[in-house]
Amino acid sequence: MRIILIYFFIFFTVISFFSCSNQINGPLESDLNESSYANTSPPIENFYPIPSKSQLDWENSKITMFIHFGINTFTDKEWGDGTDDPKLFNPTNLDVNQWTEIAKEIGFKYLILTVKHHDGFCLWPSAYTDYSVKNSSYKNGKGDIVKEFADACQENGLKFCFYLSPWDRHEPTYGTEKYNLYYQNQLIELLNNYGDVGEVWLDNANGEGPNGKQQDYNWNLFYSTIKHYQPNALISNMGPDIRWVGNESGLGNDTEWCPQPATQILFGFSNVKVWYPSEADISIRPGWFYHEKENYQIKDANQLVDIYFNTVGKNSNLLLNVPPDKEGLISNLDIAALRNWKNKLDEIFANDLFLNKKIVASNTRGVGNDYAPQNCLDNNINTFWVTDDTVRKANLIISLNTKVNINIFKIEEAIEYGQRICSFSLWANVNNNWEKIYSGATVGRTRLIKISPIFTDKIKLSIDSSYAAPTIRTFSAYYYPGL
Ligand code: FUL
């Protein structure tokens, strides 16, 4: 009950803060006449819910690297049962800087390490169990891989994040109330001793522990502990800040709303909407952990590009798992696949055909360049176009100097003001007639659209319905044959 009240309190404090700050900073009511706006544009209102600063930064990062590494790496298993000898854990050449270097090169900003998987083996010397690196062969039991990893992330400007499996097949208290405190104590160690944490990934997997019992997880205790020690850390998957997209195949939803009804379990009340963006997790290999036998089943650049379009391109974030091998290194095969993927994405998005071209809007809010339609074409996510408050249907027309081939579009809303667009369509000038080439529902942070190539010199983006004045921060087009 207490946690329910806390969530209520936080939610309404945030809402009243924003409405109050609008009143404080906005014009007084008596000033609200035509003349006060003569030389300025009316400020854009939030359409609630809106993302927190942490959610917004995370959504704009688009891709996160998942790193499954643990005792399973050495036993060739996906799910250890918690009985494997900790001495088996013996990375002979571990180099976390190699992980962060490749992550940086590819463009990942958040890195999530499995500090404990279902087998219960901990990558840090937890004071609450002996089943950890302290009884392993690694550095004769003197190592702390979480420390090495967190330091490497922070030194490189990357967000240190962790996955701490609630399901624990080793810990004897699992299946009793005591286990919730054991898990909380481990959370406190991780949240207190390793600097800033970007994201805590809570897995809902809940099987039997060593005594044959399942655990009734005290999620509210876990959430309040995380928020207490790391108020800016996002809690994902089985958490209130980031939602699981619903599959592990890299498939987002065609219609993807960040505003979602607050569910009973996560927020304690259900008749309001909260900002709850989705994350799509998938492994670069068939398994989550490294298995030598899967070395030739690594996803190639084409598959990874498809996954990118189906996740990032559908208003979700991609969480791509790249598991280090027994040496403690990401193999050259995985690195090659990541590099080929990045090169291909760079090639696809190299030449924005709309960049700084001529654009006209059916309606624009305010005066000057504040919300001008050119803001969609400037390759700057901080500037955007928006209509007057009363206008919910509008269009943007781009005129090109000559006819060109186009087969990809990118559309993005300025989501910091809320997700607004409900339906849109794309039209191309074909023999002086507008021909519809695509229609869709949501846009959100990013909508990527692939079509059969069209040869044209004019494109219209029509916002057909929107909950509030539509915003667009990016509208771009590309041609990449054979996609
Ligand atoms: C699942 C686990 O059972 C898998 O092993 C993996 O960690 C995946 C990301 O989550 O629930």
Regarding the beta carbon of 205 and ligand 1, being less than 6 Å apart is answered yes
Closest CA to ligand 1's atom 2: 205
CA of 65 to the centre of ligand 1 (A): 14
Which amino acid is residue 163, in one-letter code?
Answer: Y
Tokens of 231: 């108020």
Confidence of residue 3 (pLDDT cuts 50, 70, 90): very low
pTM of this structure: 0.92
The alpha carbon of 406 is separated from its chain's Cα centroid by a whole number of angstroms, namely 28
Alpha-carbon distance 24 to 22, whole Å?
5
Regarding the beta carbon of 281 and ligand 1, being less than 6 Å apart is answered yes
Q: Give the pLDDT confidence score for residue 482 in this predicted structure.
A: 86
Q: Give the pLDDT confidence score for residue 483 in this predicted structure.
A: 86
Is the distance from CB of 235 to CB of 226 less than 8 angstroms? Answer: yes
CA of 93 to the centre of ligand 1 (A): 26
Confidence of residue 18 (pLDDT cuts 50, 70, 90): very low
Checking if the pLDDT of 31 tops 60, the result is: no
Tokens of 157: 């400007």
Regarding the beta carbon of 336 and ligand 1, being less than 6 Å apart is answered no
Q: Give the pLDDT confidence score for residue 10 in this predicted structure.
A: 43
For the four alpha carbons of 367, 372, 375 and 381, in that order, the dihedral sign comes to positive
Return the ligand 1 atom nearest residue 78 CA: 5
Return the ligand 1 atom nearest residue 321 CA: 9
Return the ligand 1 atom nearest residue 283 CA: 9
Tens of pLDDT, residues 355-401? 999 999 999 999 888 999 999 999 999 999 999 999 999 999 999 99
Tell me what the mean pLDDT of segment 153-166 comes to: 98
Task: Return the ∠ at Cα 473 (arms to 468 and 476), rounded to 5°.
Answer: 125
Return the ligand 1 atom nearest residue 203 CA: 11
Under 8 Å CB-to-CB from 228, ≥6 apart: which residues? none
User: Between the CA of residue 339 and those of 8, 344, 352, 411, 448, what are the distances in Å?
Assistant: 45, 9, 22, 25, 21
Q: Give the pLDDT confidence score for residue 362 in this predicted structure.
A: 98
* Count of CA atoms in the C-beta half-sphere (13 A) of 44: 27
Alpha-carbon distance 405 to 353, whole Å?
9
Q: Give the pLDDT confidence score for residue 368 in this predicted structure.
A: 86
Checking if the pLDDT of 417 tops 60, the result is: yes
Give the DSSP H or E segment for 402: strand 394-412
Mean pLDDT check: name the lowest of 32-41, 150-159, 273-282: 32-41
Residue 15 has φ and ψ, to the nearest 5°, of -60, -50
Strands 433-440, 471-472: pairing kind: unpaired
Under 8 Å CB-to-CB from 265, ≥6 apart: which residues? 219
The alpha carbon of 234 is separated from its chain's Cα centroid by a whole number of angstroms, namely 10
State whether residue 336 is helix, strand or coil.
Answer: helix
Confidence of residue 40 (pLDDT cuts 50, 70, 90): confident
Tally of helices (H runs) and strands (E runs) in the chain: 10, 18
Q: Which of 64, 163, 201, 203 to mutate to test the pocket of ligand 1 (most atoms within 8 A of CB)?
A: 203
User: Between the CA of residue 103 and those of 159, 176, 377, what are the distances in Å?
Assistant: 11, 39, 29
Per the model's pLDDT, the better-predicted residue between 24 and 461 turns out to be 461
Checking if the pLDDT of 245 tops 60, the result is: yes
Alpha-carbon distance 381 to 379, whole Å?
7
Share of the chain above pLDDT 90, in %: 87
Mean pLDDT check: name the lowest of 13-17, 69-73, 169-173, 450-454: 13-17
Which amino acid is residue 272, in one-letter code?
Answer: V
Regarding the beta carbon of 289 and ligand 1, being less than 6 Å apart is answered no
Q: Is 34 exposed, middle or buried (0-12, 13-18, 19+ CB in 10 A)?
A: exposed
Alpha-carbon distance 304 to 399, whole Å?
33
Closest CA to ligand 1's atom 10: 203
DSSP 210: T
Return the ligand 1 atom nearest residue 201 CA: 9
Best CA proximity match to 223, nearest among 180, 258, 168: 180
Per the model's pLDDT, the better-predicted residue between 1 and 450 turns out to be 450
Checking if the pLDDT of 35 tops 90, the result is: no
Tokens of 332: 């050259």
Closest CA to ligand 1's atom 3: 205
Regarding the beta carbon of 119 and ligand 1, being less than 6 Å apart is answered no
Closest CA to ligand 1's atom 8: 288
Mean pLDDT over the full length of the chain: 92
Closest CA to ligand 1's atom 7: 288
Q: Give the pLDDT confidence score for residue 265 in this predicted structure.
A: 66
For residue 49, whether the previous peptide bond is cis, meaning omega lies within 30 degrees of 0, is yes
Return the ligand 1 atom nearest residue 289 CA: 5
Regarding the beta carbon of 279 and ligand 1, being less than 6 Å apart is answered no
Confidence of residue 262 (pLDDT cuts 50, 70, 90): confident
Tokens of 27: 């014009």
Return the ligand 1 atom nearest residue 205 CA: 11
Regarding the beta carbon of 167 and ligand 1, being less than 6 Å apart is answered no
Mean pLDDT check: name the lowest of 10-19, 34-43, 125-134, 334-343: 10-19
Checking if the pLDDT of 24 tops 70, the result is: no
Confidence of residue 264 (pLDDT cuts 50, 70, 90): low
Residue 163 has φ and ψ, to the nearest 5°, of -110, 120
Confidence of residue 30 (pLDDT cuts 50, 70, 90): very low
Residue 26 has φ and ψ, to the nearest 5°, of -80, 175
Q: Which of 288, 289, 321 to mutate to test the pocket of ligand 1 (most atoms within 8 A of CB)?
A: 288
Regarding the beta carbon of 265 and ligand 1, being less than 6 Å apart is answered no
